[in-house]
Amino acid sequence: MISPLAYIHPEAQIGENSEIAPFVYIDKNVIIGNNNKIMANANILYGSRIGNGNTIFPGAVIGATPQDLKFKGEESTAEIGDNNLIRENVTINRGTAAKGKTLVGNNNLLMEGVHVAHDASIGSNCIIGNSTKMAGEITIDDNAIISAAVLMHQFCHIGGHVMVQGGCRFSKDIPPYIIAGRDPITYSGINIIGLRRRGFSNETIEDIHNTYRIIYQSGLNITDALAKVEAEISMTPEIEYIVKFIRSSERGIIK
């Protein structure tokens, strides 16, 4: 299942039942698990760690050195979980001294031309649209949907179960369960269709909706709005996640 036209460094570790097409390049200090399919002209570079059951399409580059002038050749990794679809020309850079690794979880779809910069962290069950670009050290929580051609500033945090509309750009955090869109980007309601598809109850959805009414429509500052949420809304895990996310935001949330 490994083409004789592929280059695999003798120190690379390849698991069982993996299919490696012609003209694939696999560097040293690479570990690849079982049941992966790596298509022609993909490059798996130094420091890559790839789990099981992934499909990597032509032209993808995993583990390239960071596009960060502070990078001085330190040891770092780009770590991919299981069952991901990494489409054509996706680039995933390895980490720097800041965190040491770039992470992509499980069951994600990264569409054509996505760029994942150094030390970024993508959770699981995410969909990232064509040509979306992530700067260094961004974090995306589980079950997020990021549409095409989105530009993310470094250090931004995107919450779980969000929907970010295509063509947006932002330099603030996007809290969980919402739709973010328009230009400039703004809160555009909760992601009610996505939440229903994920099995959230009507009661939980209503609590999330009421929480964001307080945060975005009460006219209160963030500190007072969160205090009002804690006083008036049941502290389910979903509401606790929202409150903790906003309180810990270093860049502030979108308006």
Which of 33, 63, 105, 118 is catalytic? The answer is: 118
Beta bridge partner(s), residue 40: none
Whether 224 is catalytic is: no
Any alpha helices (H) in the chain, and if so which ranges?
Answer: 192-197, 202-217, 222-232, 237-247
Which of 27, 68, 119, 173 is catalytic? The answer is: 119
Whether 53 is catalytic is: no
E strand or H helix at 176:
none
Q: Are 130 and 115 in contact (CB under 8 A)?
A: no
What does the alpha-carbon distance between residue 146 and residue 163 come to, in Å, rounded to a whole number?
A: 6
DSSP annotation of 139 reads: E
Which of 53, 136, 159, 160 is catalytic? The answer is: 136
**Backbone phi and psi for residue 209, each to the nearest 5 degrees, phi listed first:** -60, -45
Whether 119 is catalytic is: yes
Active-site residue set: 118-119, 136
